[in-house]
Amino acid sequence: MLKFSNSERWFDSLIAAILTKESWDVPDFYDKARVEASFHNIGFSSGYRSMCRFYSGFFWKHPALAKYDWLWRLDTDIEFHCDVPYDPIERMIEANALYGFVQVNEDQVWVQPSLATNVSEFLFNYYSSHSSASDVSVHRAGSFPAVPQDVNHGFVWNGKEGIDKALRGEAGSEEWTRSCMYNNFEISHRSLWESEIYTAFFEHLDKAGGFFYERWGDSPIHSFGVAMALRKDQAMQFRDLGYQHQGWEFECASLDRCSCLQDGAAASLCSLSHSSTING
């Protein structure tokens, strides 16, 4: 049972860890003038952008987490409006899921106008490099023999046409659904982040520079990564936690163990309309 109060001990132990310069500072290969211009044009602090880059490509590599296979992120300013009578990680293990989330929403294009284009370029380059020479010409023509058929590209790209354009390296923001699994609550198995495709994906994005030339978010990047690396049934949505972050709207389950029903704080999220896309 998960209950938070100031009079109870929440965790058996806490570890304070220092982040490395490699995982937090602006890399030397970035054009500093472009970075400064981006702060002026788009906003968001250097620290916020460093956080997005850290969670996109480094958090599971930190020595403090080295002995853990399962990683659960909980941000500050959170509330659970429902008691949790089960272990979420055990439930994921039972379902053979590798990524767990609560909320789905839509992210903004204006802070990351070239993200979808760079993701599409990566997909074409990656699958081309994993195809035979004869397959590459087929790939350009719209057939993708190297792409697993059971991954969930339909969550992040609009329809078959959007998926096909993405895999040909021709998609941009218009083909992106902007759907994101918000990762301020996130449970994941490290094998997802250590997979060949996600490792290559982050390296491609980092070299492109969008974490500081724009403000690429870790939430859409994780969502793109989950869509390309996992089967549909390997992503599990927890909809009975009453989880709320920084006062945002949230979904309150109709359960007796949820205080938000009594508080009248229930609100619907667009996760309701996206759930069939995630799981079906």
pLDDT in tens, 143-182: 555 576 667 788 899 998 999 999 999 999 999 999 888 8
Return the C-alpha torsion angle 265, 271, 276, 280, nearest 10: -120
What's the pLDDT at 273? 31
| Per-residue pLDDT band at 274 (split at 50, 70, 90) | very low
Map out the domains of the chain as residue ranges. Answer: 41-279
Neighbours of 225 (CB within 10 A): 25
pLDDT of residue 81: 74
Residues contacting residue 4 through CB under 8 Å, at least 6 positions apart: 10, 79, 80
The single residue listed with the structure tokens 């969670």 is 55
Query: What single-letter DSSP state applies at residue 176?
Result: B
Q: Which CATH number fits domain 41-279: 1.10.1270.20, 3.40.50.720, 3.90.550.10, 3.40.50.150?
A: 3.90.550.10
Backbone angles phi, psi at 82, to 5 degrees: -125, 140
CA distance 70 to 60: 10
- Global confidence as pTM: 0.82
> In this predicted structure, what is the pLDDT of residue 196?
95
Active-site residue, 186 included: yes
pLDDT tens per residue across span 194-205: 999 999 999 999
- From the list 8, 174, 186, 194, the catalytic residue is 186
From the centroid of its chain, how far is CA 160? 22
